[in-house]
Amino acid sequence: MMKVQVKSIKPSHRQNVLAAATIELIDSEGATVTVADVRIIENKLGQRWVALPSFCVSRGGRDFKYFPTVELSPSLMRELSDRVLAAFAEEGTTRP
């Protein structure tokens, strides 16, 4: 099982994005993977969730297709989300 560590959380100026986190995934042997631009998003109902980095490809005009840059197993994504949202709540980070 990989360990998730939140390295930093910084406020975001993007619409609907409360903050962006940098996280580190650590395996049992100590090898790490760092993921930047892990977004904390809030909808109009106040529900918060975590989104991993993605990129878009134009399909012509204003039509875009988004693809994940990083994909995690459901259990690892759940752990990452729980840790990032808890760290965000602890820091009390708010929109500037």
Q: Is residue 75 part of a domain?
A: yes
Domain boundaries, position 21: 3-91
Q: Is residue 96 part of a domain?
A: no
Q: Is residue 53 part of a domain?
A: yes
Structural domains of the chain, count? 1
pTM (2 d.p.): 0.85
Could you read off the pLDDT tens digit of each residue along the chain, which spans 96 residues? 899 999 999 999 888 899 999 999 999 999 999 999 999 999 989 999 999 999 999 988 888 999 999 999 999 999 999 999 999 999 875 444
User: Residues 17, 37: contact at Cβ < 8 Å?
Assistant: no
User: Residues 66, 56: contact at Cβ < 8 Å?
Assistant: yes
Backbone angles phi, psi at 23, to 5 degrees: -125, 160
* CA-CA-CA-CA dihedral for 60, 63, 65, 66, to nearest 10: 120
Q: What six digits make up the tokens of 38?
A: 């892990």
Q: Is residue 70 part of a domain?
A: yes
